[in-house]
């Protein structure tokens, strides 16, 4: 909290298993601390935290040690392993074989079937054992806490789940989810995740704007022949490629073409043109501010430091683009600020009368209510409208943006709020058609 009062502004969050460094290790004293009976502690680099039944000063507490197993690896583009459930209970402890058969009708017949082949769209079940034993931290936790058999949640069909590790027990392999649930690995489909990465415009020798991005598919390369006619070279730029272009255009076979910086030509309706924002930075953005220019209909963003573009990436905006409609999924236009950053956040909703849920969406920066920039691992359609209104990024791009944009994440925190009154800056987000 911003001050030792449970009604004070929330400025950050710490996840179970994490430890936040303290300023002195001694509780604050005074007459106004009654809202926290076990004491307020000053945290670094700012704020205070209440010692209560959700926190402890003992880093070896069995609850902390177990929860630490479920923490993500935030050095990775995808901090958790991810997949899609085909429908299963979520257990709160390791079930015996008898308990599995009781809770999962038809389990013996299901496990006797051979694993299905991989489906590029939905993925496949990985039936291989992990060859990992039950972590001793979990064994101690189960013995001390004696949790009931089932967790509050269910790994219902089509739910996107996230897990930190897997181990073998009671004849199956179990996935330890981010919230300490256990899901059978044989009921989760896994598939390849997006590998697209944008362009670090500030890197030595990096290409410069404008750039073209092949968002639809492979795009043919054209070149002028001896007579000056544009002809197909037989070569292509592969789908999801960035390359330098000029603003020089000319008419050719089937339409207008942009000239590239290496004297090739590309049809302009087959690429997105990524360029510096017309008119420069918005009036509210100062010369040294960080800001992000988002083009919804063109499917890209450019990150700036003042007037200098430093990174660009393809995005997937709302499936309705900029068209607002009742219960639709458009991306909100306007100038906003990043108010909260979270290493991951659960997202859910209802679409066409069907519930959906994605656990632990990675590298989230909320800029307007529940709208944010975040990584998306469940599709590879960047450059095209795809989301429920948020700005989807490929995981590698989301990780880069998260590390670059303000507010910065303090050591040991899982989420941080921009707090200008405490000297914590934010990043501007300018969303345009």
Name the residue among 266, 292, 240, 343 with its Cα closest to residue 13: 343
Buried-exposed string 365-387: b where 16+ CB fall within 10 A, e elsewhere: bbbbeebbbbbbbbebbbbbbbb
User: How many residues are recorded in the chain?
Assistant: 433
| DSSP-assigned beta bridge partners for residue 163 | 81, 177
In whole angstroms, give the CA distance from residue 177 to residue 166: 9
- 350 compared with 124, residue with greater pLDDT: 124
Q: How far is CA 232 from CA 219, 265, 343, in A?
A: 11, 9, 46
* pLDDT tens, position by position, 174-220: 999 999 999 999 999 999 999 999 999 999 999 999 999 999 999 99
Confidence of residue 88 (pLDDT cuts 50, 70, 90): very high
Q: How confident is the model at residue 303 (pLDDT cuts 50, 70, 90)?
A: very high
Written out in words, the top-level CATH class of the domain with range 290-432 is mainly beta
pLDDT at residue 37 in the model: 77
Q: What is the pLDDT of residues 137-157, one digit of tens each?
A: 999 999 999 999 999 999 999
Q: Is 226 exposed, middle or buried (0-12, 13-18, 19+ CB in 10 A)?
A: exposed
Mean pLDDT over residues 398-427, rounded? 95
Tokens 């998306």 found at: 376
Confidence of residue 31 (pLDDT cuts 50, 70, 90): low
Segment 9-22, tens digit of pLDDT: 999 999 999 999 99
Domain 210-274, architecture per CATH: Roll (2.30)
Beta carbons of 141 and 65 less than 8 angstroms apart: yes
How many CB atoms neighbour CB 40 within 10 A? 23
Q: What is the pLDDT of residue 119?
A: 60
Instruction: Compute the distance between CA of residue 290 and CA of residue 406 in angstroms, rounded to an integer.
Output: 8
Say how far apart CA 392 and CA 374 lie, in whole Å: 5
List, in order, residues 6 or more apart from 417 with CB less than 8 Å away. Answer: 9, 10, 11, 12, 339, 340, 407, 424
User: What pLDDT, on a 0 to 100 scale, did the predictor assign at position 29?
Assistant: 78
Residue 116 in this model has a pLDDT that exceeds 90: no
**How many CA atoms, within 13 angstroms, populate the side-chain half-sphere of residue 86?**
15
Q: Which residues pair with 91 in a beta bridge?
A: 150, 182
SS3 readout for the chain: CCCCCCCCCCCEECCCCCCCCECCCCCCCCCCCCCCCCCEEEECCCCEEECCCCCCCCCCCHHHHHHHHCCCCCCCCCCCEEEEECCEEEECCCCCHHHHHHHCCCHHHHHHCCCCCCECCCEEECCCCCCCCCCHHHHHHHHHHCCCCEEEEEECCCCEEEEEEEEEECCEEEEEECCCCEEEHHHEEECCCCCCCCEECCCCCCCCCCEEECCCCCEEEEEECCCCCEEEEEEEECCCCEEEEEEEEEEECCEEEEEECCCCEEEHHHCEEECCCCCCCCCCCCCCCEEEEEECCCCEEEEEECCEEEEEEEEECECCCCCCCCCCCCCCCEEEECCEEEEEEEEEEEECCEEEEEEEEEEEEEEECCEEEEECCCCCCCCCCCECCCEEECHHHHHHHHHHCCCCCCCCCCEEECCHHHCCCCCEEEEEC
Q: Hey, CA dihedral for 371, 375, 379, 380, is it positive or negative?
A: positive
Cα 141 to Cα 145: distance, rounded to the nearest angstrom: 6
Whole-number Cα distances in Å, 96 to 46, 99, 111, 151, 266: 46, 5, 16, 15, 61
Residue from 65, 69, 66 nearest 80 by CA: 69
Question: In the chain, pLDDT over 70 holds for what percent of residues?
Answer: 96
**Predicted local distance difference test score (pLDDT) of residue 30:** 66
pLDDT averaged over every residue in the chain: 94
- What is the domain partition of the chain in residue ranges? 1-68, 81-190, 210-274, 290-432
Pairing of strands 290-295, 124-125: unpaired
What the block records as the tokens of 114 is 């051979």
- Answer for the pair 132, 165: CB distance below 8 angstroms, yes or no: yes
pLDDT band at 25 (very low <50, low <70, confident <90, very high): confident
pTM of this prediction? 0.95
Bridge partners for 432 per DSSP:
295
Vertex 412: Cα angle to 410 and 415 (nearest 5)? 65
pLDDT band at 356 (very low <50, low <70, confident <90, very high): confident
pLDDT mean over 291-308: 97
For residue 271, what pLDDT is reported?
98
The percentage of the chain sitting over the pLDDT mark of 90, rounded to a whole number, equals 86
- What is d(CA 144, CA 141) in angstroms, rounded to the nearest whole number? 5
Answer whether residue 324 shows pLDDT above 90: no
pLDDT of 333 reads 92
């Amino acid at each position: 909290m911003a001050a030792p009062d449970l009604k004070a502004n929330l400025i950050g969050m710490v996840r179970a298993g994490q430890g936040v460094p303290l300023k002195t290790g001694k509780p604050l004293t005074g007459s106004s601390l009654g809202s926290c009976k076990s004491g307020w502690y000053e945290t670094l680099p700012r704020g205070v935290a209440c010692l209560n039944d959700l926190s402890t000063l003992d880093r070896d507490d069995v609850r902390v040690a177990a929860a630490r197993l479920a923490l993500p690896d935030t050095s990775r583009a995808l901090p958790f392993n991810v997949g899609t459930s085909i429908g299963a209970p979520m257990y709160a402890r390791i079930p015996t074989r008898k308990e599995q058969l009781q809770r999962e009708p038809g389990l013996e017949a299901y496990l006797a079937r051979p694993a299905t082949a991989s489906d590029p769209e939905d993925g496949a079940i990985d039936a291989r054992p992990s060859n990992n034993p039950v972590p001793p931290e979990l064994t101690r936790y189960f013995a001390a806490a004696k949790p009931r058999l089932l967790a509050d949640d269910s790994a219902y069909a089509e739910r996107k789940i996230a897990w930190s590790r897997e181990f073998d027990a009671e004849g199956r392999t179990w996935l330890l989810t981010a919230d300490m649930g256990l899901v059978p690995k044989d009921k989760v489909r896994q598939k390849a995740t997006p590998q697209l990465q944008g362009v670090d415009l500030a890197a030595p020798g990096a290409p410069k704007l404008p750039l073209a991005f092949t968002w639809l598919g492979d795009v043919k390369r054209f070149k002028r022949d001896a007579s000056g006619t544009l002809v197909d070279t037989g070569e292509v730029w592969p789908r999801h490629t960035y390359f330098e272009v000029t603003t020089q255009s000319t008419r050719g076979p089937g339409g207008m073409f942009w000239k590239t910086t290496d004297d090739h030509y590309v049809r302009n309706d087959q690429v997105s043109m990524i360029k510096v924002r017309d008119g420069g930075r918005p009036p509210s953005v100062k010369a040294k501010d960080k800001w992000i220019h988002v083009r919804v209909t063109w499917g890209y963003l450019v990150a700036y430091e003042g007037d200098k573009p430093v990174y660009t990436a393809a995005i997937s905006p709302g499936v309705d683009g900029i068209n607002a409609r009742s219960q639709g999924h458009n991306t909100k236009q306007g100038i906003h600020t990043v108010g909260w950053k979270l290493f991951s956040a659960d997202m859910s909703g209802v679409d066409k009368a069907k519930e959906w849920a994605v656990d632990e969406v990675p590298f989230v920066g909320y800029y307007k209510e529940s709208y944010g920039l975040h990584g998306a691992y469940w599709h590879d359609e960047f450059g095209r409208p795809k989301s429920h209104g948020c700005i989807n990024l490929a995981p590698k791009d989301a990780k880069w943006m998260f590390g670059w944009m303000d507010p910065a994440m303090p050591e040991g925190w899982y989420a941080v709020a921009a707090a200008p009154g405490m000297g914590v800056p934010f990043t501007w987000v300018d969303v345009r058609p």
